[in-house]
Structure 1
Amino acid sequence: MSDLLIRPAEPADFAVLARLTVAAYEADGQLKGETGYADVLADVAARAEHGEVLVAVDRATGQLLGSVTFVLPGTRYAEMCAPGEAEFRMLAVDPAAQGRGAGAALVEACVARAIELGCAAVSICVREGHAEPAHRLYRGRGFVRQPERDWSPLPGVDLLALRLPLR
């Protein structure tokens, strides 16, 4: 992962991140039958205003490989984190760059940020039946299912809650 740099997103990154995020979600089949979520994913400026958008950058080329939005309870994009927890959302890696460790590096950056802020845990929702590589990544990192926190924002969109205790 030394060939990757994780840093906060800059406004100059937003247009590329918007395209990359929508493309990653489309490639995983997560936007089929959705209305409006692609617009939410593409609004990187709003995500940066209400949370922290982190990017994975190829050190050699400067190419943006992926991004994630880190949020705290009570903020606009927080869906399920409890007080004292952090949450990350909209993790996306360019389909052409998958398998290079960018997703894992972004998860680690979110965990490190949560520890830095003194959070007790990091939470995330994953869509049931989609993105098995992401599910494996989270399980491998120690995230544990929290079925009592599963929820559905829309009919047919079932989100599974995962939590990584930090202390």
Structure 2
Amino acid sequence: MAPTDGYYKILGYGYPNMSNVEGRNGIAEKWKIKYIDVAGCDVDQKLMDSVDIENKKTFVALDAKYGKDWKARYDKDVENFMLNKVEVMDVLITNKLFRKKLKDYNIEIDGVDKEVKELNDQGLYEVIVFNNNLQYENKECFRVQVDTRNRKVNLIK
């Protein structure tokens, strides 16, 4: 089905493949695809059929947007995300701005809690840095944009 909030939604149920969850979340912005769990492991045929019907509509829209081979390219991006995330951190740990911001928030370089999002195919990522020792509403400390091709870091917030 075409996106209503800018994202295509693929519905799921059952126990998720945890090794794919971080990768799918990491490339959600790039592909504009979100996975939504609509049920746990206890499902009936009616639910499975309704999920299948909705997902088929979404897959038709994704075929139109990205081409018939989108799924193979998407799966490859999910698979590569963890390697790309390591490259992002490699750029960050040598960057003076990033280290200064960590110091401002009393975060040790080896204990960085972060969320990495791939933005495009040109090596551009957004990284949100958290300090889990702070109160819930203040856990997000800052955001940076990382260009792995040019090894540059820009402060977003």
Question: Which has a greater percent of helix?
Answer: 2
TM over 0.5: no
Q: Looking at CA atoms only, which structure, 1 or 2, has the larger radius of gyration? A: 2
Q: Which has the higher strand share?
A: 1
**Normalising by structure 1, what TM-score?**
0.30
